[in-house]
Amino acid sequence: MTGGNNALSADILVIGFGKGGKAVAAAMGRQGKRVVLVEQSDRMYGGTCPNVGCVPTKALVHRSGKRRPDDEIQAWYERAVGDVQALTSLFRSGNFEALNGADTVTVVTGHAVFTDDHTVKVGTGDDHLTVTAETILINTGSEPVIPAVPGLQESRYLLTSAELIETTGLPRRLAIIGGGYLGIEFASIYQRFGSQVTLFESGPDILTHEDDDVAAAARDILSEEGIEIVTSVRVEEVRDGEGGATVTYAKDGRRASIEADAILAATGRAPATRGLGLDAAGVRTTENGAIAVDEHLRTSRPHIFALGDVNGGPQFTYISLDDSRIVLDQLTGKGERSVTDRVAIPRTLFMTPPLATVGLTEREARAAGHRLRIAEQPVAEIVSMPRAYVVEETRGLMKFVIDAETDQILGAALLSVDAQELINTVTLAMRHGVTAAELRDAVYTHPSSTEAFNDVLATIVRADEP
């Protein structure tokens, strides 16, 4: 690096230690470029996923089902949280050392604010550092949205997901506001740990973007677990008491209330752009606060890129990783890769068992004018999937939406053990034109979950007339 005591000059400046930014920083560092990566918190080295997102939450999903009969609930939960925090600490230090240990990469901890389109100031007062770079990447992620419910913001029982997973005391009564992926995952985790969970969803049902049969199967599983799901509801007020909070809500024209020891706000996340000084850099944002980018992730300043959640795209770690490939292609490749290359992007809801989906639902495919064949089976009836019985998880279903004329798979919903892995095979088939018949007749190891495709894709429950 070059510069004085309070200044650094670099080829690449990365703001935020997320998946996409750190991938570009590492790759450019290996090529001998001078890289500075600025992260505002020493607890976020590596980004959201290994610290407060995917890794700790999925580790809690795993541990929530492992209590032995003689384990006292509170001690078991506290031990699980401790184990998970040790895991995230290991990931965090590994991420820091992997970058900061490189000769050409420097990690700076502090809040970065643009002073012009090539320069940021990190820190305040006499203890600040100025970093100037030819190319800048913004990878600051997203932050929780707290709904405008009277008394909620001020409640001492309000927690974000990041705060809840670090709380060593298991809430006896947990209220979750928001029935999306985050809300459902945490409802499943904490109900299995032993909390009494009430999930509030303002819409008419949870998972309304899925087909009705898939959503109903998921809801049945959650209800069987003991989660109370309240839909078509408006949370009107939160009032703190000495031993907890009273959550008042309106449903069907009537008001009711519950008591809660903790309240999780799970109503979405917004791009984290506040306090970056984007105006000083001439970087434009969209109406929802995301940084506006083109198909190559360039902002309104061509030498500044935005990667991951902050650019308003799908909020998945693997999308941020793919963002890094697009940016690296711009910096060192042919400059041809873009977000338009992405097809068949899967996603997984980590309830138990997980729900993994890709492509079109049956409803969407019909609306698009396709003539369809629908292959569907409950997991408990899939003869060729003994693994479900081996691991004692036979709940759920598998559904494929198939174009009747081409035999191409248009979409799939897998609510089953190992669904988060199975969906990647389906996704690869969709991307490369593998037909439903080819996937059905493939040879899979035994006993495995993948061999379920042999049965399910042969079970056509609905077929449109030619």
* Residue that has been written with the tokens 């604010």 in this structure: 113
Angstrom distance (rounded) from CA 356 to CA 450 = 14
Cβ–Cβ contacts within 10 Å for residue 278, how many?
A: 23
Element (H, E) at 47: none
Interstrand relation of 112-116 and 196-200 (parallel, antiparallel or unpaired): unpaired
As a dihedral over the C-alpha atoms of residue 174, residue 176, residue 182, residue 185, rounded to 10 degrees, the angle is 40
Q: Which residues contact 335 (CB under 8 A, 6 or more apart)?
A: 296, 329
Q: Is the Cβ–Cβ distance between 379 and 388 less than 8 Å?
A: yes
Respond yes or no: is residue 446 known to be catalytic: yes
Tell me the sheet residues that pair with 10.
Answer: 133
Q: Which of 296, 303, 370, 446 is catalytic?
A: 446
The helix or strand, by DSSP H or E, that contains position 248, with its residue range, turns out to be: strand 245-251
One-letter amino acid at 247 equals V
Residue 88 three-state SS:
helix
Query: CA 369 → CA 114, 151, 182, distances in Å?
Result: 49, 48, 32
Cβ atoms of residues 197 and 228 within 8 Å: yes
Nearest to 48, CA basis, from 20, 10, 11, 80: 20
CA pair distance 121, 115, nearest whole angstrom: 7
Q: How far apart are CA 161 and CA 172, in angstroms?
A: 17
- Catalytic machinery residues: 446
